Amino acid sequence: MTAIPPIKHDKVIKNMSAVSEPLIPVFYLHQLYQQLCDWQLPAQQWLQQNKLTLADLQQANSQLTLSQYSELIDSAITLSQRPDIGLYVGKKISVIAHGMLGLAMLNSASLNDALLLLKQFIHTRNPLIEIDISAHHQKLHINYDLSQPLPKGHQAFIDAITVTFLTLFLHLLTDKSVIKAVHLKVTKPDYYEQYSLFMPCELLFSQPHNSIVLSQTTANQRLASSDPAAAFQAKQFCQQQLDAQQPVGFVSQVQQLILKHQGKISQQDIAQLLHVSPRTLHRQLLKHHTSYQQLLTDVQQHLAQHYLRESNMSIKQIAFELGYVDVANFRRAFKRWYQITPQDFRKKPPLRCV
């Protein structure tokens, strides 16, 4: 049998519709800069090393790739020699720093309404954060995990989210007793004693989810800052922001995993590799108006082109390599994709298929 040619991933992906990495807004990185300043560290040098300026952090439309964002956090940890920096940064993030999402939550009728807004619009602030809300034994569990892990500075990012959410909930409720516990997925770090400075509740490590546990009895109580008209207007603006976003990075990650495994990977395996549940994977792809099956088909289309152009494999071999038991089914699928048979494509690849 003819050897399967190596796949030129970059070349194949270039012909697909997604970009290689998600783009992350720079919201909250100014607080990271400010914390370095508070510790009298060369924050300006930190920016220069990462090819940024203070103006970049202050522009609402500035974005970084996942790798850049991760490197920025990691270099701040290296500069400060403080792996607990996320806790301090989270404390600096006020309700106002959350923009229209913070305003909508502040003016919500109840905590429950505010939490639903947070879940619905968190991607307007950071597309990496996934929120799930559940109730157990008269307690609300606000689970927050990342759709994909940061290569560097991951726990500092989680620490900042944790303290940010605690600060937000305490601002809305003003009663510390409402917060019952914080659960973190990470094993107990060396700086675990620092957490007690920021968390007025029980803290557990090595848990299934990152979560903040609240008393459910307060969920429907009216918030003192409630203003229905202001909440409605802020929510509308959040929806406009969400609609304007085109976060294709998550889709690209799924595409590249399918491509890496040449289509021989299940939806469940992809979810595990991206550290999300299959349900979250399905929901995220649905937000992007696609599905695992559609992305699998897209990859099969481009792999079929790759094999036809760059190998001497027979049509039958290519069909089997793409998971088709019956070569006739592959021929029909290929003609449906490109309005030409695989044999004719190989003889004279049409420009429209490039």
Does residue 177 sit in the same domain as residue 272? no
219 plus 321 within the same structural domain: no
With 90 as the cut, is the pLDDT of residue 59 above it? no
State if pTM tops 0.85.
no
300 φ/ψ sector (left φ>0, alpha ψ -120 to 50, else beta): alpha
Are 29 and 85 members of one domain? yes
CATH number at residue 60: 3.90.1520
What is the β-pairing status of strands 179-183 and 202-204?
Answer: parallel
Would the pLDDT of 201 be above 90? yes
Mean pLDDT of 57-73: 89
List the structure tokens of 260: 């890496």
Q: Is residue 123's pLDDT more than 70?
A: yes
Question: What digits encode the pLDDT tens for the residues 303-318?
Answer: 888 888 888 899 999 9
* Mean pLDDT, rounded, for 333-347: 88
> Are 56 and 115 in a shared domain?
yes
Average pLDDT of 160-169? 96
Q: pLDDT tier at 257 (50, 70, 90 boundaries)?
A: confident
Residue 237: other Cβ atoms inside 10 A: 17
Q: How many domains does the chain have?
A: 2
Lookup result for tokens 């796949």: 7
Are 196 and 270 contained in the same domain? no
Q: Each residue of 213-225: pLDDT tens digit?
A: 999 988 888 899 9
Listed residue (261, 88, 69, 85) closest to 167, CA to CA: 88
Band (pLDDT 50/70/90 cuts) for residue 182 is very high
pLDDT at 114 over 90: yes
Domain that residue 308 falls in: 9-19+248-353
Q: Is residue 154 pLDDT above 90, yes or no?
A: yes
